Amino acid sequence: MAALAGGVAIVTGAGSGMGRGISLRFAQEGARVVVVGRTRETIEETVGQIRAAGGEGTACVADVAVEDDVRRMVGVVLTEYGRLDFAANVAGVAHEPKLLHELSLQEFEDDHAVNSRGVFLCMKHQILAMLDNGGGAIVNVTSGSALAGFAYFSAYCAAKHAATGLTRSAALEYADKGIRVNSVAPGAITTPMLLRNSPSVLEPTRRSIPMKRFGSVDEIAAATVWLCSDQASYITGQVLPVEGGYTASAITIVSAQELAMGT
């Protein structure tokens, strides 16, 4: 039997990249999946792939930075399936690489609107639903930037650190209520965001990784879904780096362009 058979999952940022891969993995493991994104065309494509593989999925257009959208998103889950067991909060944005003093307030606020406020709003309403059915598991997909400071990405880095704090605090608050909250921190993953860079950027980035390769969307999906499964039933409040050993070094030096690894 599939690991998550009969469960219901919600995945944000599911129109492409890691969000799409995680949605497909949830469905592969037997969960019914509500696929969330801001663009109907892309999330419908994800749902189509789920159904083509024999899974069950529903599309929901929503912006995680808007509370009414998030409330409605969770309402769709409950209306369609009657419960919520698993959530992967993947939606994220990143500003262009800049020195801190060159960042506008709007760029700072845009990064935080999705990367930290969005995580807060999603968890708030997901937890309310999970409390009603006696528990669940949430994974916030952040970034290696949630674990260290990175030059030229100060607002992005700050927002991802905030998501880590939200993860750990929520894990403590709901540990005795059957809700586990963890985080996956991806490194350089072969998503469209990474691959838009030139070979002159990609090659030094690859060499800086101890395993000398980029990670795959499937590897992020496997880690995320595993944290939601009963195999991780005694794990909460943790951040799991999935980045080929990149953050194992005490000192990591890379250029701004080489950091185009995002979520």
Known catalytic residue at 156: yes
- Do residues 21 and 217 touch, judged by C-beta distance below 8 A? yes
CA atoms of 87 and 85, how far apart (whole Å): 7
How wide is the angle at C-alpha 215 spanned by C-alphas 214 and 219, nearest 5°?
A: 170
CA atoms of 85 and 127, how far apart (whole Å): 10
CB burial string 165-193: b at 16+ within 10 A, e below: ebbbebbeebeeeebbbbbbbbbbbbbeb
CA atoms of 184 and 243, how far apart (whole Å): 10
Residues 81, 152, 156, 174: which is the catalytic one? 156
CA atoms of 113 and 240, how far apart (whole Å): 23
User: Which residues face 170 on adjacent strands?
Assistant: none
Catalogue the active-site residues: 156
